[in-house]
């Protein structure tokens, strides 16, 4: 359900919860409110009106945040792998696709007639393989430290969240773009989602758990949120 408050579209999600939760989501500043099922739309709108100043401030941050340009996957572009920048060098072959890191270069071998979309698809699968290898190393580490365990995990390309979890099934989803960020960002998101299996909201109990296991989590969170976003199609 969507409501309009002070010309700002607000997505409203009603749940079996006690309190209101307001979020301004990357990459484009979408506003979302989670509200108790019994709360009226008028009451929700009134709550949002009291937060208009804060909402606009958060949206302005996203507008000013640097974004990566739309990729064509041609020589001279850059790729990021675990926080390090590489310069893309495209070579052509009919023997199959490959992506190899060599020095400061990322050498992408593809068919000459391949489209930008096909190259993007291959690179994303390459990122997925990288992410899988690191998650299989760091997820068990943080499960041991916290005593929490997810039932399963999966990666997918997301534009509004770095990770999410289903507290009912215990499944965790991780953003494929984490393979572009420093490895400590991946560890932070893994820990964040594991803690949510115990604490569903971001209240004092959640903060205490994060402080207990990762004292510098706020710095890592800020680093992650301030890093470059993928190209975002302009809204019409």
CATH code of the domain covering residue 150: 3.30.2010.10
Confidence of residue 67 (pLDDT cuts 50, 70, 90): low
Give Cα separations from 148 to 109, 143, 158, 200 (angstroms).
41, 5, 24, 14
Last residue of a domain, one of 41, 59, 77: 59
Confidence of residue 228 (pLDDT cuts 50, 70, 90): low
Whole-number pLDDT of residue 51: 93
Whole-number pLDDT of residue 232: 36
Whole-number pLDDT of residue 25: 81
Q: How far apart are CA 125 and CA 179, in angstroms?
A: 11
Last residue of a domain, one of 21, 42, 59: 59
Summarize pLDDT for 126-171 with one digit per residue, the tens: 999 999 999 999 999 999 999 999 999 999 988 778 899 999 999 9
Residue 146 lies in a domain: yes
Residues 187, 169 contacting (CB under 8 angstroms)? no
Count of domains observed in the chain? 2
Domain holding 185, by residue range, is 116-226
Instruction: Provide the 10 A C-beta neighbour count for residue 120.
Output: 13
Answer whether residue 183 shows pLDDT above 70. yes
Say if residue 124 is in the same domain as residue 207.
yes
Answer whether residue 172 shows pLDDT above 60. yes
Answer whether residue 233 shows pLDDT above 50. no
Residue 12 lies in a domain: yes
Say if residue 127 is in the same domain as residue 221.
yes
Residue 111 lies in a domain: no
Whole-number pLDDT of residue 229: 58
Give Cα separations from 175 to 138, 140, 161, 164, 178 (angstroms).
15, 18, 7, 9, 6
Answer whether residue 2 shows pLDDT above 50. yes
Whole-number pLDDT of residue 131: 98
The encoded tokens of residue 234 equal: 């302009």
Residue 138 lies in a domain: yes
Among residues of the chain, what percentage have pLDDT more than 90? 71
Say if residue 135 is in the same domain as residue 208.
yes
Answer whether residue 75 shows pLDDT above 90. yes
């Amino acid at each position: 359900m969507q409501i309009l408050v002070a010309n700002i579209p607000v997505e409203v999600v009603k749940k079996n919860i006690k309190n209101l939760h307001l979020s301004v989501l990357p990459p484009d500043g979408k506003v979302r409110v989670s509200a108790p099922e019994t709360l009226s739309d008028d009451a929700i709108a009134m709550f949002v009106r009291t937060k208009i100043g804060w909402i606009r401030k958060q949206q302005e941050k996203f507008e000013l945040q640097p974004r990566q340009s739309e990729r064509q996957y041609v020589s001279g572009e850059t790729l990021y792998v675990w926080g390090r920048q590489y310069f893309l060098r495209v070579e052509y072959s009919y023997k199959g696709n490959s992506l190899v890191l060599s020095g400061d270069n990322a050498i992408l071998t593809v068919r000459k007639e391949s489209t930008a979309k096909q190259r993007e698809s291959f690179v994303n699968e390459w990122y997925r393989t990288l992410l899988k290898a690191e998650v299989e190393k760091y997820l068990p580490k943080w499960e041991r430290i916290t005593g929490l365990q997810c039932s399963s995990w999966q990666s997918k390309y997301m534009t509004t969240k770095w990770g999410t979890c289903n507290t009912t099934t215990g499944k965790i989803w991780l953003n494929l773009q984490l393979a572009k960020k420093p490895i400590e960002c991946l560890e932070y998101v893994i820990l964040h989602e594991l803690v949510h299996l115990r604490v569903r909201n971001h209240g004092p109990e959640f903060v205490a758990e994060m402080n207990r296991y990762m004292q510098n989590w706020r710095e890592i969170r800020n680093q992650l949120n301030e890093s470059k976003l993928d190209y975002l199609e302009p809204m019409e």
